[in-house]
Structure 1
């Protein structure tokens, strides 16, 4: 495709010209940020929906009690300070006293209790698992919240970032059907930006909150999030300066190096430390032959993780070694390794009695493809090619996002792709994929592979409640070694997402949640 065709695609983007003229004028004054967003968020209420696009946009309007530095140290947000009792059972948060909701109502501890005790346990799977560990959640005064736990849970302090535990307004949502009415009501948060306009298929326009509780914030006056479905058009928007920010999967990996070499653009892969996204091949461990660890080990020998890193992700990843990302606490690299080896794979398959048939195939599997861009298509094609070397036929099945979610969450698949965030602590973002109690039909991003091992359950639970850090490490080391032996999923890589931005834009990444943070200090250099 040549430059003229690129420009035609850009011009054809729905609604692009409807607001770019206004944005460009304001941009000269350094007050307007135009960012890309793809796919478009289904809704903007972070308490109801936690998909990545909702987190990016919603993170400017809603806030949690804490943010986290890039080394995952907790930082103040709606909580000014906090204390943890010596026995690890009581967490006391002192709240900011001058925050307001976007409709002018004061923010108080009653909103925190409502969010954590009523709303989030009903609407937010991750938050439900965390707050189910609470014996009580109480507010002794308007600016203090006390969480008392049933048993120690040291990961609790990592559970309060905005997407993990957004605080929502009690006065707007109490007594409502959270999932239905909450999704329909306008977003009202405490963040530095509020919703001005959402033209579906075109753009989301946020404007600065004039009396935001942190002095001299926000620096920007407005943010336009452009919805641009075509990958080539998104690249051109950055290239020509019509957008100043792209994040997550906005830009295809093969285009990143070219764009980052342009004089007016910078790139960073910082700011995703809290999420530490892990990419893997999902296996339905309920079904033969996936229920035999020898088969899963054989598949692992057929994958060259370095090839995936270099040729599919174009270096924007680290090769994975196991269930915990190397950017996370409690990671241990000393686990069993599986070198790419067709010979070792076929030996395991022979041992299982899976002999080649007349067509040369030992078994046929259906790959339910992830409908999330070209990278996932290339992963599926690579798996089909690699598995065929040992006589494993793979049929690729295309579907839309709803179809993929339904198939994987209900166990109606053989193999698929998946990616999960690790959320700052293995007890929050890792254990959920492997513990038996989280096999929940119809619930995405749970233990969708159906893997079950009582020893794994025991180790994860013991690590979750252990206060001694050295003992926690020993428990997590043991569970990593066990899972790498069992291979319930086939870990591919630890993805590094590129944030590409106009080099006049400053304070883009200031925390471990990067572009999902509230952008209160983000600004253009004068």
Structure 2
């Protein structure tokens, strides 16, 4: 970042156009540490009091409509079936967890009366239990009271394999007991250092027992509330057209005094990221747009003289490529990419190693993402204590060619390498999005120089990230050779994030492709490391185990990290959203406001 740009942002902070927190997040996005960012502001005499106005409402409502764009359109409103973040975000409008994560990685109570702790006696010293107390007086949108029975039900619902919930890994190995109408105790089978998983953040949204009780297990997909939610959140459901428009209205009995500020809510789905950015930053037609996966040059151009701004927020998200070690072209027992098959060419470690060398990460960062991402060789990139120092990336076409030569892959007359009658021809898919198509093109060009033919496939985002079990083009089915997308780390701890790497989470027909391990690759060493880390009360040992999991999958070139993603959003200059890199964008929607 140029000095003139930094000075311009400092001036914006002084004039109240940019908050101190947003300044720090933008500096983090280009590699400047938070302490150094605060020092820059202090050096220029920007006092804390000069940030944007603090929200101190005296009454709820009065803010008119809030208009949000999710260009990857939501298709369902049950958070426990959400495969893509878009469906988690849409569900979070209505459903709430006991607590969420703020931008500094701290727990914030939402439905909970308080955050459990050792000091209060609600987190056991042996790591075997945690006790949560519910806030009194919370009502579901239909007027029924929220009680401990709803928490018990949510645990039973999500933990039942027949329900096929994406959150099963959070709930299946715990026991939840009712202490009283507003208190539950979670018991863990073994010492559990990271107890803030069940009922917390994106995986923690509580469901109403009286609405979903008859739809447990095999009947889970038949619940009308999967599309017509009854939650406790700041907005009540009005209407939903999957893939298009979601509408809500202010919950007049919301459990937080004088909130929410806005009277109605519109969440528009569909389109593309560039159009969404333009509708917020340039035209002001919408107030907020999620997931600005847009070339940074375009965002910067829109911001000049526009009505809005791009907001970078540091996170643990990762844009990566995964390689399929199963056969996506052979059907076994009604599914392709079955663990009962092996990929004809990608099971060769030399081929996977060569492909990894053909990713020009530095160019993708410099010419496409800018503030939106930093080149990396690691799947886990934050917090720092969980980031491996062992992985390095390299772009080297000559080296890739030599590896393939040595492994016996010979170029044919068409320039494509082959061995034993099998050619290095792959279908490489991702969602429709300009930065992703440009990344695909960069990699395809390098692959051609190495004798590898890539067929590029682009799928509409609302389909690619859909939870529709009948659709063959969803990323969870992985019916291709390689695919690329961003996976979000919605906790300041990688435990749940790394469920993507364990054998018991493989996506398949039996679990309706809701398992989190999309690669289908398994490692006993990784499984053992995960199990030990779940129960290790030694922070250093636990971090080392998670780093080992990262290194196994990255060194095997099953996961090919491209960029550590900065979470980018677009916001009207007049809107003050409360964002966090460790939770959903809409995690604290009730606190959003528009300064007068």
- TM-score, scaled relative to structure 2: 0.77
CA–CA distance in structure 2, aligned partners of residues 44 and 437 of structure 1 = 26
Q: Does 2:110 match 1:77?
A: yes
Q: Where do residues 431-442 of structure 1 align in structure 2 (5 Å cutoff)?
A: 432-442=499-509
Paired residue for 1:387, among 447, 451, 456? 447
Paired residue for 1:128, among 162, 168, 180? 168
Q: Which residue number in structure 1 is paired with residue 396 of structure 2?
A: 341
Confirm or deny: 8 A CA contact 1:34 1:224 kept in the other structure: yes
Q: Which residue number in structure 1 is paired with residue 415 of structure 2?
A: 360
Shift of 1:51: 2.8
CA–CA distance in structure 2, aligned partners of residues 188 and 358 of structure 1 = 62
Shift of 1:55: 2.2
Structure 1 residues 513 and 338, CA, compared in 2 at 3 Å: closer, same or farther?
closer
For 2:256, what is the secondary structure of its paired residue?
A: coil
Paired residue for 1:278, among 284, 294, 318? 318
Gaps (5+ residues) in structure 1?
1-27
Paired residue for 1:296, among 333, 339, 352? 352
CA–CA distance in structure 1, aligned partners of residues 459 and 269 of structure 2 = 22
| Greater Cα offset, 159-168 or 230-239 | 230-239
Confirm or deny: 8 A CA contact 2:102 2:579 kept in the other structure: no
Q: Does 2:565 match 1:522?
A: no
For 1:524, what is the secondary structure of its paired residue?
A: coil
CA–CA distance in structure 1, aligned partners of residues 554 and 158 of structure 2 = 37
Q: Where do residues 221-232 of structure 1 align in structure 2 (5 Å cutoff)?
A: 221-229=263-271
Q: Does 2:239 match 1:217?
A: no
Q: Which residue number in structure 2 is paired with residue 25 of structure 1?
A: none
Q: Which residue number in structure 2 is paired with residue 6 of structure 1?
A: none
Structure 1, residues 471-508: CA drift from partner, whole Å, max 9, x if none? Answer: 11222233333333222121111222321111221243
For 2:196, what is the secondary structure of its paired residue?
A: helix
Structure 1 residues 128 and 329, CA, compared in 2 at 3 Å: closer, same or farther?
farther
Confirm or deny: 8 A CA contact 1:61 1:518 kept in the other structure: no
Q: Which runs of 4+ in 1 moved over 6 A?
A: none
Q: Does 2:540 match 1:470?
A: yes
Confirm or deny: 8 A CA contact 2:293 2:435 kept in the other structure: no
Q: Which residue number in structure 1 is paired with residue 22 of structure 2?
A: none
Q: Does 2:364 match 1:331?
A: no
Q: CA RMSD in A?
A: 2.6
Paired residue for 1:103, among 131, 142, 155? 142
Confirm or deny: 8 A CA contact 1:152 1:466 kept in the other structure: yes
Structure 1 residues 124 and 306, CA, compared in 2 at 3 Å: closer, same or farther?
farther
For 1:501, what is the secondary structure of its paired residue?
A: strand
Shift of 1:162: 4.3
Q: Does 2:551 match 1:512?
A: no
For 1:491, what is the secondary structure of its paired residue?
A: strand
Confirm or deny: 8 A CA contact 2:397 2:446 kept in the other structure: no
Q: Which residue number in structure 2 is paired with residue 351 of structure 1?
A: 406
Q: Does 2:380 match 1:312?
A: no
| Greater Cα offset, 60-69 or 336-345 | 336-345
Shift of 1:75: 1.6
Structure 1 residues 503 and 398, CA, compared in 2 at 3 Å: closer, same or farther?
closer
CA–CA distance in structure 1, aligned partners of residues 409 and 293 of structure 2 = 42
Structure 1, residues 164-184: CA drift from partner, whole Å, max 9, x if none? Answer: 121011111112332212455
Paired residue for 1:413, among 480, 485, 489? 480
Gaps (5+ residues) in structure 2?
1-60, 117-121, 326-341, 418-422, 465-469
The size of the alignment, in residue pairs, is: 493
Confirm or deny: 8 A CA contact 1:366 1:397 kept in the other structure: no
Q: Which residue number in structure 2 is paired with residue 116 of structure 1?
A: 155
Confirm or deny: 8 A CA contact 2:169 2:505 kept in the other structure: no
Q: Which residue number in structure 1 is paired with residue 496 of structure 2?
A: 428
- TM-score, scaled relative to structure 1: 0.86
Confirm or deny: 8 A CA contact 1:50 1:163 kept in the other structure: no
Q: Which residue number in structure 1 is paired with residue 525 of structure 2?
A: 455
